[in-house]
Amino acid sequence: ILNVEQSPQSLHVQEGDSTNFTCSFPSSNFYALHWYRWETAKSPEALFVMTLNGDEKKKGRISATLNTKEGYSYLYIKGSQPEDSATYLCAFPPTGYALNFGKGTSLLVTP
Amino acid sequence: NAGVTQTPKFRILKIGQSMTLQCTQDMNHNYMYWYRQDPGMGLKLIYYSVGAGITDKGEVPNGYNVSRSTTEDFPLRLELAAPSQTSVYFCASSYSNGGLNQPQHFGDGTRLSIL
């Protein structure tokens, strides 16, 4: 099993703070890198699917970058809001058929 | 627009009982997946299917079986329920044209307790 590692495991920030998380994955045989947002008592929702080295994706205040050569992706949240509180998952397909998910970064944003 | 629908939402089973978790999608996705979520362990892949008639094992397939007779449906069967199978189960689907460059769409989950 080729593992995806996420850090930090959890994060607590104040409303208005900007923050970022890291996803590390094996850099060989790269297919794609997925980011999902998972709110408590709901199901995961896709944020980004990134496929090219140097890719940058943005959705509102959330953005992500990708470095396939060194095997990492960063997720950034600008001006965190309480509704951003969730677990953020990254996932990597080692074979191209199915995703291996990291354990996630749990974000809590307090007013 | 239903997306991925899972039934039931909750179920309590006795040890040794069997049941089928249903999953259906209306997006004409070729790829479908079953995951289980255990506390602190993230999502673990149980089985997946790349099209009707084709299934394959994921990371944690023991104690489960699947079938994919249609594009829409991907049921997960527990034959002899064990306490270790207490978990939240998620079904997901995605479109693929040869690589996982499309997002997965998840159902709302089935919370299963084995007592």
Q: For residue range A24-53, what is the model confidence (pLDDT) as tens digits? A: 998 887 889 999 999 988 999 999 999 989
Would you call A32 and B41 a contact, using CB atoms and an 8 Å cutoff?
no
Residue holding tokens 């070729």? Answer: B30
Q: Which of B42, B59, B90 sits opposite A103 (nearest CB)?
A: B42
The residue that leads in pLDDT, A78 or B98, is A78
**Interface check A43 vs B, CB under 8 A:** yes
- Based on C-alpha coordinates, what's the Rg of chain B? 13
| CB-based contact A93 B41, cutoff 8 Å | no
Interface check A97 vs B, CB under 8 A: yes
Handedness of CA B23, B25, B31, B37 (dihedral sign): negative
B45 touches chain A (CB under 8 A): yes
Question: What is residue A102's DSSP assignment?
Answer: P
The 3-state DSSP class for residue B84 equals: helix
Given CB atoms, is A96 within the 8 Å cutoff of chain B? Answer: yes
Cα separation, B83 vs B88, in Å, equals: 13
Mean pLDDT of B58-87: 96
Considering only CB atoms, B101 lies closest to which of A45, A51, A97, namely A51
Q: How far apart are CA A48 and CA A45, in angstroms?
A: 10
So what's the pLDDT on residue B2? 79
Amino acid A31: pLDDT: 85
Of A49, A89, A104, the CB nearest to B101: A49
Nearest to B59 among A1, A31, A42 (CB): A1
According to the model, what pLDDT value does residue A30 have? Answer: 83
> How confident is the model over B74-113, as pLDDT tens digits?
999 999 999 999 999 999 999 987 678 889 999 999 999 9
Cβ B109–A43 below 8 Å, yes or no?
yes
Calculated CA dihedral for residues B86, B109, B33, B27, nearest 10 degrees = 160
